[in-house]
A and B are shown apart, each in its own frame.
Chain A
């Protein structure tokens, strides 16, 4: 029995090693290169361990201002995610708990937004941002970031709220509580699982968002991390280890969050895409 399975086992391990090399090697290359000196890299770009490892690239990247890109990304991402949670929870309350004529059409209108390619809005948003005097500031991103996170968030929250038991607010209704109190004091505290899903989903989307940042920001001081990386690319063409250090720093926070909260992250990501 064991012997018959052996060839199968070997095939399985060849497959696993193949996939592991394909997915893992680029990371190994990125990390190892980020610790090489320029000289060490050009002498031997392929070795995993070069004789002397150095942290010099990381200090170079900090000197070039990756900290500011980082802060900008953090500010805009956190702010957008907080607002998205609040605004989408507000909208999902009547959509899921109150019967009114426009219930269904409104819900469909919102979730249709999931399918809109950003490009279909790019030029008007670019002009609008200029007209509002927001161009080249971090605030310029707030509107599009919230707008493009809303559909999925409203979708998840409306579904989730719709499944909460009716009894939850009936007692409060008997006591004459108004809708705001029912929403804020009774329903909102019960939304934690759905909110963690939309926080993770939107955080990952916004942390890596590029095209709106590219069209709405040119000023180095307002650049987000993906935009900053592109900027480094322009300046670092030959300093491969330096660029790799920047890539490691940019990827680290998300990867750390994933390793700490693996199951939550996976749930957050699939919750956003698995439907019915």
Chain B
């Protein structure tokens, strides 16, 4: 057998005969872990959501959709859902614009950009638990600097986290502090990607820097704005740590979000069935958000429209 024939056989063997088993061996470790720790648990959650199941006694009983009926009549659930939506609104209308402003500042001719680059980004690098604890003390009515400033400005002092009307606002400020830098780096990456020629052409046409922003920079950033906005929905469903550590959902249920409410029902009250119902609803909302993301993405690519 000539050498070239051996070579050809080898190539054919590799091209056609890629054995199903070979593929399986490569994918198997990932698939196994994914099935055990993600897919199975999701299915199990839906299954448990149909049970009246007290974790303390261990007795469970099939109740069909009763948990869902109870959930939709549960005012704490609606309060939590409302707060989750508030998180989304705040990230779309405050964090994303603030992130954009921060990114633009870093592209302006401001002095000390190297330092600003680091300081602006720092909050995003701290663990949420550390952030929560730090701000609990910043808000402290007795020794916290925020009240000191509020008093100095003549606003009076407040029991920030203990006041049902202020607690959510207080927590939202912390969330803005933590996540604006994240949007900042997204925008920085997007701005770097804008071709220099566009600005040059705009300058030749006599566009002022404001016009350059609205006619060159901003349109180029719309895809980033759209995808970050929709990602905010999923992000809000994943949030838990900051509320858990700062207020535990209180006072009352003023700062409750779905994540903390689910945890409370499942691991504090041991209503495993009811908690699973909340978890299942969270999954469904995330799923719907994803479908919407995909749809927007599809329309954008098909028709070239910016939604």
Contact surface of A with B, Cβ cutoff 8 Å:
12-13, 15-16, 19-20, 22-27, 29-30, 33, 41-42, 45-46, 87-88, 90-91, 93-95, 98, 100, 106, 109-110, 112-113, 115-126, 128, 143-144, 146-148, 150, 154, 173-176, 178-179, 183, 204, 207-208, 210-211, 214-215, 225-226, 229-230, 233, 240, 243-244, 247, 250-251, 254-255, 258-259, 262, 266, 269-270, 273-276
Contacts and interface: CB of A to CB of B under 8 A. Distances in A.
10 contacts: A19-B98, A23-B177, A33-B137, A119-B237, A123-B45, A128-B41, A229-B129, A247-B130, A262-B117, A275-B227
B137 A243 contact: yes
B105 A225 contact: no
Interface string B113-125: 0001111111111
Nearest to B40: A124
B267 interface: yes
Contact of A143 (B7, B36, B135, B145): B36
Contact residues of B: prevailing secondary structure: helix
Contact of A26 (B134, B245, B258): B134
A46 B182 contact: no
A71 B29 CA distance: 27
Chain B's interface size range is 35 or more
A276 B121 CA distance: 24
A128 to B, nearest CB: 7
Interface in B228-246: 231, 234, 237-238, 240-241, 244-245
Given A126-B267, A144-B37, 11 more contacts: A13-B110, A20-B116, A90-B26, A115-B286, A117-B286, A119-B282, A123-B44, A124-B44, A146-B33, A176-B14, A230-B133
Contacts of A100: 18, 20, 23
B215 interface: no
A233 B135 CA distance: 12
Given A207-B127, A208-B127, A117 B34 contact: no
Given A115-B234, A210-B241, A121 B10 contact: no
A251 B121 CA distance: 13
Interface of B: 6-7, 10-11, 13-15, 18, 20, 22-23, 26-27, 29-31, 33-34, 36-38, 40-42, 44-45, 48, 98, 101-102, 105, 108, 110, 116-130, 133-138, 140, 143-145, 148, 177, 181-182, 185-186, 188-190, 224, 227, 231, 234, 237-238, 240-241, 244-245, 258-259, 262-263, 266-267, 272, 275-276, 278-280, 282-283, 286-287, 289-290, 297
